[in-house]
Amino acid sequence: MSAPALSFVHRFEPAVRPGPPPVLLLHGTGGDETDLIPLGRTVAPGAALLSPRGKVLEGGMPRFFRRLAEGVFDEDDLRRRADELAGFVDQARKAYGLSAPVALGFSNGANIAAAMLLLRPDAFAGAILIRAMEPFREASPVRLPGTPVLILSGSADPIVPIDNPKRLAATLAAAGAAVEHEILPGGHALIQADLVRSRAWMDRLAAG
């Protein structure tokens, strides 16, 4: 579908069947607006897919926010970029006639989705966070009553120490979110188990 001139370069695929909520696809470092389309089709078949390209470049690779080093976020930039992305979601919902989407983010995309849950809790109907890290050293109080969140971590992830997503899960649960955190036998890369767990979670969510 031809994309209107919104604030992010993006790709949009309209829904082809009723039922599943729209999905906001948020790529990892070096990805773009096409990167997670196949994942979205697998995890939420028939759902509307909205996939923006991150505006920050690191060595020529798109990201959604700056970092100071691997695993060390520029939190001021992250806050600004999370607000900017939430504004894009609002624009896209109006342009395409969408309900609140479920975020499906991988790595850098999962991290900005986690930040948006804590800063702009109205932006999403839920989130799947694959290889996410806790986005802020100190999170501001937020209310996420019943918001469904699936966090998928890798037991041998060399980038994300396992205690970090455990803290993220605890932070979101303390805010009232319905959090499921699974530690899968893998590293930082996507594995088949991510697809299987995400599809089952989305199926439950769509079924109500």
Catalytic positions, please? 107, 157, 188
CA distance 21 to 84: 22
Single-letter amino acid, residue 174: A
Tokens encoding 39: 């994942």
Q: Tell me the longest C-alpha to C-alpha distance in the chain.
A: 43
Q: What does residue 148 show for φ and ψ, rounded to 5 degrees?
A: -75, 130
CA distance 116 to 123: 7
